Structure 1
Amino acid sequence: MGRWRLSRRKLLFLSLLCTSLLLFLHLPTSPHHFSSFSQSSSLCLSRLHRISWTHSSPPAWSWDKSETCHFRRFSGKYASEILRDAWILAAGDSQARLVVLALLRLLMEPSEVSTIEPDLFRRHSDYQITLPDKGIKVDFIWAPYESNITQLLRDIRLTRRYPDVLILGSGLWHMLHITNPALYGTVLAEIKQMAESLVEPSGSLHSHMFWLGLPKLINSKLNTEEKKEKMTGNMLEAYNKEVNWRGMSKESGGPFTLLDIGLLTRGCGPLCTLDGMHYDGAVYDAAVNIMLNSMLIDSQ
């Protein structure tokens, strides 16, 4: 059912947004420029993370002023239209939970978000919410280990209930409790293979799939001695290399669009985090806007 909705919504994207995206990419509309349009779309996708930060309180972000793609900073109303009737499934650790919070802050009124935050952040728990007026369903699955994610992907394949938007990410718990980059990479390869199996051979019907990169870790701010000992800069680099080597992202031939939380957290800087791992909401707001812009471009 989710795949039918996604296909239908793609047609709506084409009919309602084609004109605005052509202007957004500064391209003529004649058919013989289609190849140029496709190339420019890929170029803009590669530039989505070019963000500038204002180190104020709270921190603020904007796309680089030299950027020519003119990405959209989404309002709640426009985001609701893009995601209308969608099922959004996020699974992972606290970073995925913070992305879900940023998405709900965009889609809901502040007073509504304040009432649901305690349930969303109940320790080590799943969370789900439906926004009836928008037809949007959001599920968060607590999946701190990669084995939790592989099980989730198996369940999706068995039930054939496909989310319209799939957001996955893990690695922090593996780094802390297992501390073995090579083993992490082995499981990433399995996740990649299983995610690819969810895409129909035609490629015409598939979820928008996103992988959350690991945040920049500020070792001196980590709140336990075990974290400071195991979650070092060298270990973080080794885990990030596994993501690249295993080809998780589309740029590497994989099924996922990378939401580079590492790049965003480095841009926001050490003042954006109290515990060296979880960052100000502006980081995850930027990630959600990158996600929505990539969906717009990818739907063409």
Structure 2
Amino acid sequence: MLGAVQFGVLAACIVLFVPMGMAGWHLSRNKMLFFSGALFITLAVGVHLTPYFPSISDLVSFSSSAVVVENRDSCISFLHEIVWDVKPVRVSESLRNSSNYEESWSWAKSKPVIACGFQKLGRSDVSDLLNGSWIVVAGDSQARLIVLSLLSLVLDLGEMESIRGELFKRHSDYRAVIDEIGVKLDFIWAPYTRNLTKLVMEFKRNRRYPDVLIMGSGLWHMLHVTNASDYGVSLRSLRRSVVSLLPVSPELGNDGPVTGSISIRSPHMFWLGIPTLINSMLNTEEKRVKMNSAMQDAYDGELYESKLLRQSGGPLMLLDIGSLSRICGAWCTVDGMHYDGAVYEAAIHILLNALLIESQQQI
């Protein structure tokens, strides 16, 4: 509609000012009137006939949509541009498990970030976005904290207190069903990458796939196996399993659907990065020896080389807990490994905004 209005204004300007310009060149009155009338008729006919030429309309429509999609794609790359405001607070003895700082976060105020319009979603918006979804979160204690942050956006404080004990039972799975919005959430205790691979293969075997799949591993492998190369091998095995879930395999190009997966709608898939480890704050000597910065760099390197992440051509979008926790800093953790809720809250809002972007692309 706006384009048609602009075109009409342009046509009116041409009809008005071109004859006036010609008059300035001392054309005769009859010639000026003749030219003005011919120009007006030509423009009027053109405006009325344009809708009957679909190729022109389609071209304009295609160009506009291409720009929108390109902008949405670029917005994904700005989702982690987070800034922190950390202030010291008094903490009572009853809050020993909290740090002595209060953290708040927001997206950076750079032009591209502002243009993307990222937002912290309220409870009603989150409920609408996730309505009717099956969400699976699989991994270690970091994944539990992600579940806690996600549930806190859709449940009230009383409900959160009632589930906290169940959620944090050591080395156990957890399931929540939120009837009001039809959401089913499963947490799967899967501390090693091979556990994640097994889970993915179960989805494929049962032909039941979550709408949102959030996975992550590495901390347990770093502590108990301490072999970055072995971690990389397990990640590549996981990638092959995840790719087999997709309607079209990146490894096969765009020639067609993967065998047996024609009717599969690809889930939205995310990878939880390893948090920044602050070696001096780790609570055991074994952790301080094995989980050093060099080892973490090696594990992060294997993750990128595995091509599991979208940044390297893979299927999973990274929720970069490493960068979020590093920027928040040592004041956001009490044990150098598990961070305060604000870090995981930021990760969840990154995820939710990614879901908004991807959903709009599919409309």
Larger Rg: 2
Match of 1:40 among 65, 71, 75: 71
Q: Distance in 1 between matches of 2:174 and 2:165?
A: 11
Matched, 1:212 2:272: yes
Matched, 1:225 2:289: no
Encode CA deviations 1:73-100: one digit per residue, 9 max, x unaligned: 1111101100000000010000111000
2:139 matched residue in structure 1: 92
2:83 to 52, 57, 60: 52
- Cα distance in structure 1, aligned partners of 2:358 and 2:310: 11
Rounded to whole Å, the distance in 1 between the matches of 2:350 and 2:207 is 28
Deviations 1:88-135 (A, max 9, x none): 001000011100000000111011101100100001110001000110
Residue 345 of structure 2 is matched in structure 1 by 285
* Letter matched to residue 269 of structure 2: M
**Counterpart for residue 76 of structure 1:** 123
Amino acid of the residue matched to residue 117 of structure 1?
R
CA distance in 2, matches of 1:240, 1:110: 36
| 2:306 counterpart residue number | 246
Q: Percent identity?
A: 49
Give the Cα–Cα distance (whole angstroms) in 2 for the partners of residues 185 and 100 of structure 1: 26
Give me the whole-angstrom Cα distance separating, in 1, the residues matched to 2:308 and 2:78. 18
User: Letter of the aligned partner of 2:123 in structure 1?
Assistant: G
SS of aligned partner of 1:59: strand
Residue 30 of structure 1 deviates from its aligned partner by 4.4
Cα distance in structure 2, aligned partners of 1:125 and 1:175: 21
Which of 109, 114, 124 is matched with 1:65 structurally? 109
Gaps of at least 5 residues in structure 1 are 1-28
- Structure 1 residues 115-134: aligned runs within 5 Å: 115-134=162-181
**Corresponding residue pairs, total:** 272
Q: 2:124 & 2:164 partners in 1: Cα distance? A: 21
* Partner Cα separation in structure 2 for residue 192 and residue 296 of structure 1: 25
Q: Secondary structure at the match of 1:42?
A: helix
TM-score (norm 2): 0.73
Query: What residue identity is the alignment partner of 1:260?
Result: D
Say whether residues 1:267 and 2:298 are aligned partners. no
Correspondence for 1:160: 207
| CA RMSD after TM alignment | 1.3
**Separation of aligned partners in 1, 2:349 and 2:134:** 18
Q: What letter matches 1:62 in structure 2?
A: S
Name the SS for the 1:153 alignment partner.
helix
Structure 2: gaps spanning 5 or more residues:
1-59, 88-100, 249-256
Give the Cα–Cα distance (whole angstroms) in 2 for the partners of residues 177 and 161 of structure 1: 32
- Specify the SS of the correspondent of 1:226: helix
Distance 1:75 1:248 in 2: 31
In 1, the alpha carbon distance for the partners of 2:267 and 2:343 equals 24
The one-letter code of the counterpart of 1:40 is: N
Partner of 2:68: helix, strand, or coil?
A: helix
C-alpha distance in 2 between matches for 1:249 and 1:42 = 15
Corresponding residue SS for 1:158: helix
Q: What secondary structure is seen at the aligned counterpart in 2 of 1:276?
A: coil
Distance 2:216 2:197 in 1: 11
